[in-house]
Amino acid sequence: MDTPDFIDLFFYPTILLTMKKHIAFLSLLLMLMGCPIGTPQEGDNGDETPPPGDETPPPGDETPPPGDETPPPGDSVKIASFNIQIFGQSKAGKPEVMDILAQIIRRYDIVAIQEIRDIAETAIIVLKNKVNEDGSSYAVVTGPRVGRTTSKEQYAYMYDTETIDAPTGAYTYDDDGDGNGVNDIDDSIHPDDLFEREPYVAHFKVKWDAFDFVLINIHTKPDDAEAEIGYLPDVISDALTRLGETDVICLGDFNADGSYFDEDTYLSVFPANEYYWLIPNSADTTLAASDNTYDRIATTLSMDEDYADTWGIFRFDQEYDFSSPTLDPGDVSDHYPVWAEFYIYVDTD
């Protein structure tokens, strides 16, 4: 049954007035209790929106530290060896030569350098600065001047700090056998002075990943190459013990060919069940008319997982312009750089 219209007109205003009184009373009660009412205004975040700044985690909680967020440019690194041939003040003072040397070094993540002959020990710094002129970030570490005569040499490692951490545990191999723990570099009268230029050892690690390895830099005396190459497994064994790293790369100017060394016998020194001999006997690593593989890279067998099965000889005389009458490839070096490539994500040791 429908309610007559006059009843609606009588009761509805009364009901509305009563509801307004209740609402006013409840509003007053909520205000006394400190509860906000109404629509959030400007500056009021409401109950569901956190205050400014709370929605973002504190710096460092989610975002990696500056520098760590940039991944390496590839999945491998290139490690090279380069005998720069009598590198000292004279060569460092030749702009055309230094420009080519800098371009060569930038091709690799690490370069093991041999035959630095510089009493002042500053030429290698000049070279490093030249490499970095284009905005690169290479650093260099050097060993002491070594040799039995007044014509001493230094080894160096020049490495790209964008991909390689600073080395740890760098040392010169102690071969004099005097038992005092000091490398008496000039101790040529000692019967256990095995190397003309004792190898320089350093432990490196690639940024962003666990791939680490030991480098052993060597330049044998040509006339003693057979004997000195035969001692290299002892240097590797010493590095394994001393640095606790099984991935070892021995590289440099071995003089492992020609009249100095019978390259067909290398397996007697570096047996295939223990080592990889990466630069094959068929390679020619010098600019001379004769075909000789003096420069080598050998690794421990544990690097099987890391080796990218890629090596090379960089023939800079075919890569750069030597048309200038004041520049000859032999001014740069009589050796080519040799290199090998290694994966950075698969190291498990």
Residues with active-site annotation: 153, 219
Contact between residue 301 and residue 273 where contact means Cβ atoms under 8 Å apart:
yes
Q: Is 98 helix (H, G, I), strand (E, B) or coil?
A: helix
From CA 327, how far away is CA 95, in angstroms rounded?
10
Half-sphere exposure of 277 (CA within 13 A, CB side): 23
| Residue appearing with tokens 């394994």 | 240
Max distance between CA atoms of the chain, in angstroms, equals: 131
**Which residues have C-beta within 8 Å of that of residue 44, sequence separation ≥ 6?**
36
From CA 171, how far away is CA 272, in angstroms rounded?
27
The side-by-side arrangement of strands in the sheet containing 212-219 is 168-172, 200-205, 212-219, 248-253, 295-300, 275-277
- Other CB atoms within 10 A of residue 291 CB: 13
DSSP category for residue 335: B
Handedness of CA 223, 227, 232, 235 (dihedral sign): negative
**Which residues have C-beta within 8 Å of that of residue 198, sequence separation ≥ 6?**
146, 172, 173, 174, 175, 183, 185
